[in-house]
Structure 1
Amino acid sequence: MKTNVDPKVLAELWEIICDRADHPKEGSYTTRLLADEKGIDKVLEKVGEESTEFILAVKNGVPERTASEAADLFFHVLVALRASGVSLADVMEELEHRRK
């Protein structure tokens, strides 16, 4: 199991999500999610959908699919955080606090 992962990937993804929220870009999936007429409900629907797909991938024992669905879930959770006004820094601070 690979453990030497660059944590900057998550920070860069967060920056892109925030940029799309602040500067909508035509053709961007993130922009479409954040601007959907359903509002945050659209993003939360995707979080629910991706959660279910992740659970099924884990349950079915398919590592490649599990990793892919986890990435989808992480992405949509980040978008939901941005839509709700909670920052990635807030989450990282909470995780750090729990680690101690």
Structure 2
Amino acid sequence: MSAIHRLAATIETRKGADPETSWTAKLLAKGPEKCAEKFGEESVEAIIEAVKGDREKLASEAADVLFHLLVMCAARDVSLADIEAELERREGVSGIAEKAARG
């Protein structure tokens, strides 16, 4: 099992955890909107590091983005498996064609 799959599984188990003992449970308890806000903050931090060009800091911020993306999705009951299924559906489809199909 990959690190991202282990992370997604851990996030899923934190849904019912005590917000006083788990950062993930605390985020989830605040609701989907707060999870989305936190994802946005982390995304901006990753963008800043991408512009600066520091590979190590970008990798760290990208890990934060992935974590908060999975938390945000979990808050709306969208699993990593759901995301992977969508990626598989798009595999082999031109990005231009896929974007045009979305309208």
Structure 2, unmatched stretches of 5+, are 93-103
Deviation at 1:20, TM superposition (A): 0.4
Distance (Å, rounded) in 1 between the aligned partners of 2:87 and 2:44? 23
TM-score (norm: length of structure 2): 0.83
Question: What displacement does 1:62 show?
Answer: 0.6
AA of the residue aligned to 1:15? A
Taking the TM superposition and a 5 Å limit, the aligned residue runs for 1:22-61 are 23-25=16-18, 26-36=20-30, 39-61=31-53
Percent of aligned pairs with the same residue? 45
2:56 corresponds to 1:68: no
How far, CA to CA, are the matches of 1:51 and 1:27 in structure 2? 25
Structure 1 or 2, whichever has the larger Rg, is 2
Amino acid at match of 1:69: E
1:4 corresponds to? none
**Stretch moving more, 70-79 or 89-98:** 89-98
> In structure 2, what residue type is equivalent to 1:28?
S
RMSD: 1.1
1:87 deviates by 1.2
Q: 3-state SS of the aligned residue for 2:78? A: coil
4+ aligned runs moved over 4 Å, structure 1: none
CA–CA distance in structure 1, aligned partners of residues 45 and 37 of structure 2: 12
Aligned length: 91
Q: Does 1:97 align with 2:95?
A: no
The structural deviation recorded for 1:74 is 0.3
Shift of 1:96: 1.4
The runs of 5 or more residues in structure 1 that have no matched partner are 1-6
